[in-house]
Amino acid sequence: MNKQDNKRSKNSKRRGSGKGRTNAVAAVSTAPVQKNDEVVLDIIGLTHEAEGVGRVEGFTLFVQNALPGEKVRALVLKVKKQYGFAKVLERVVDSPYRVETEHPAHYYGGCQLQHLAYDEQLRWKRQHVVDVLERIGKFGVEQADDGATRAANAGSAIGETQVKVLPTIGMDNPWRYRNKSQMPIGQNERTGGLIGGYYAKASHRIMDTDVSLIQHEVHDEAMRVVKELARKHGIQPYNEESHTGLLRHVVMRIGFRTNELMITLVTNGKRIPQQEEFVEDLVKALPQLKSVCQNINNKQTNVILGDKTRLLWGSEYITDYIGDIKFEISARSFYQVNPVQTEVLYEKAVEYAGLTGKETVIDAYCGIGTISLFLAQRAKRVLGVEIVEEAIDDARRNAEINGIQNAEFAVGAAEEVMPRWQEQGETADVIVVDPPRKGCDQALLDTMLEMRPERIVYVSCNPSTLARDLRILADGGYQVVEVQPVDMFPHTAHVECCSLLVWNGNNE
């Protein structure tokens, strides 16, 4: 998700004249507010990043930690030509859906919606999906919870069947659901000592903490222990500005069903001081520990993991289950971070695939085979494709350890591999896609339209690119039947969707 640039600009001098300054001053002066102004706002909505939306004389301000229905006194932090940013100084009127926040990550930007009652979070996420389907996809939308049907908006295709958007599937217990944590390590600005926790919102300033109520409980203790032992053994924290120091990130994974813990130390260099003693102390302190890895990343980059990973102790993998399928997870494996909701999401994908045991299914962006192996239990044959070679190695191994023989995997870009399969006479009754946030490559969309399966199941982590791609597929002859939002990330602004498309041939 692209975050708004919230770095605060310096105060602009508004006296005198000078070259190169006139246009900037003119642009700012057209707004009814300026930086450091205090304003009273009625909050009328939320952005897709869960910031409150208020207006002053028609000028939009995005306000952190403000909810629809609230009246707030706010400080203007930054003003652009058409909008600005502000922070709450005082809530004059509270939303009836506001709840007390429970842990520090909320203030660091990690849980943007924790102050909103959970049922209302689910409603807002479904509404967000509806909004982008209408605005970006130009679909008419039927909201299926109360029988009310919204008329297709003016931009919708004439005569097009409306898309049904179901209520968001939430969690019975929307806490402690993450099986993976990636926590940055840095220096205390005052003492230079080692700290670790979360980045402050829209910055790389590290807030020192061990606790997050959306992470598995074991991660809190593991993070505390790693920091304590790193200080004990003289492991220096990384300094992003000078590119010095050693320990950059601590990445933790836990198997929810197996309770197996993996810790990966991301370092700016190969040598770890007192490595054997450090690892020995780590193993003694954490009985769940099954694997300790080191990932070497000596590049000046915001990317967390480097290219080389080595095992320091224990096993190269931990294991976990989704449903009755066992997965081996390495330090670099992609594996859904919420295993409870992943099972819900994948069961919905299987339902939408409509499998009878006779179908050939293609799983594009198959990763380590999580969806593929679910599908293979009910399909005749599954072909998975993924551009990351290590992920395909994991997928093949996961198929083997589960005794699944009707799933085959290929390395490469789906938009290149699938046409080759078609040339070789392969056909697909169902295509399943689960792309990254940028959505499907145009060439892949073209390939799916060329292959023309009876059904397409589109799993998405970004409603905006989902709406864009669904419009392309709908214009190509598919009916978008139903979209099911699933809350994979409670208390954040993210929402996952599973969508069913069926071929209707109306473009012929």
Per-residue pLDDT band at 190 (split at 50, 70, 90): confident
Mean per-residue pLDDT, 108-126: 89
Task: Give residue 148's pLDDT.
Answer: 41
Q: Which of 287, 322, 357 is the last residue of a domain?
A: 322
Task: Give residue 167's pLDDT.
Answer: 98
Check whether residue 377 and residue 466 sit in a common domain. yes
More confident residue, 386 or 102: 386
What CA–CA distance (Å, rounded) separates 331 from 293? 7
Query: Does 136 map to a domain?
Result: no
Check whether residue 218 and residue 360 sit in a common domain. no
Mark out the alpha helices in 166-312 (DSSP H runs). Answer: 217-232, 275-285
Query: Does 17 map to a domain?
Result: no
Check whether residue 426 and residue 301 sit in a common domain. no
Please say whether the beta carbons of 500 and 482 come within 8 A.
yes
What CA–CA distance (Å, rounded) separates 391 from 410? 10
Check whether residue 408 and residue 307 sit in a common domain. no
Work out the percent of the chain whose per-residue pLDDT is above 70: 88
Check whether residue 466 and residue 428 sit in a common domain. yes
Task: Give residue 205's pLDDT.
Answer: 87
What is the extent of the structural domain holding 445? 142-171+338-503
Q: Which residues sit opposite 141 in a β-bridge?
A: 163
Check whether residue 496 and residue 355 sit in a common domain. yes
Mean per-residue pLDDT, 29-52: 92
Mean per-residue pLDDT, 414-431: 93
The pLDDT tens digits for 297-317 are 999 999 999 999 999 999 999
The pLDDT tens digits for 435-487 are 999 999 999 999 999 999 999 999 999 999 999 999 999 999 999 999 999 99
- Domain CATH code at residue 197: 2.40.50.1070
Q: How many domains does the chain have?
A: 3
Place of tokens 């009625």: 42
Query: Does 137 map to a domain?
Result: no
Q: Which residues sit opposite 53 in a β-bridge?
A: 45, 62
- Domain CATH code at residue 161: 3.40.50.150
Query: Does 350 map to a domain?
Result: yes
- For residue 503, pLDDT over 80 is answered with yes
DSSP 156-169: SPTTPPPEEEPPPB
Q: Give the sheet arrangement for strand 194-199, strand by strand.
A: 206-208, 194-199, 180-187, 247-254, 261-267, 289-296, 308-314
The pLDDT tens digits for 198-257 are 888 777 889 898 888 899 999 999 999 999 999 999 999 999 999 999 999 999 999 999
Q: Which of 37, 72, 98 is the last residue of a domain?
A: 98
Name the range with the highest mean pLDDT among 10-14, 103-107, 139-143.
139-143
**Terminal Cα distance for the chain, rounded:** 37
Per-residue pLDDT band at 189 (split at 50, 70, 90): confident
Work out the percent of the chain whose per-residue pLDDT is above 90: 80
Per-residue pLDDT band at 333 (split at 50, 70, 90): confident
Task: Give residue 21's pLDDT.
Answer: 39
Check whether residue 203 and residue 303 sit in a common domain. yes
Average of per-residue pLDDT values in the chain: 89
Q: Which residues are catalytic?
A: 461
Query: Does 438 map to a domain?
Result: yes
Task: Give residue 2's pLDDT.
Answer: 38
Query: Does 112 map to a domain?
Result: no
Q: Coil, helix or strand for 28?
A: helix
Q: Coil, helix or strand for 266?
A: strand
Check whether residue 276 and residue 382 sit in a common domain. no
Per-residue pLDDT band at 119 (split at 50, 70, 90): very high
Query: Does 5 map to a domain?
Result: no
Query: Does 109 map to a domain?
Result: no
- Domain CATH code at residue 28: 2.40.50.140
More confident residue, 157 or 426: 426
Check whether residue 350 and residue 446 sit in a common domain. yes
Q: Which of 81, 98, 115 is the last residue of a domain?
A: 98
Check whether residue 87 and residue 150 sit in a common domain. no
Check whether residue 166 and residue 218 sit in a common domain. no
Per-residue pLDDT band at 107 (split at 50, 70, 90): low
Check whether residue 396 and residue 479 sit in a common domain. yes
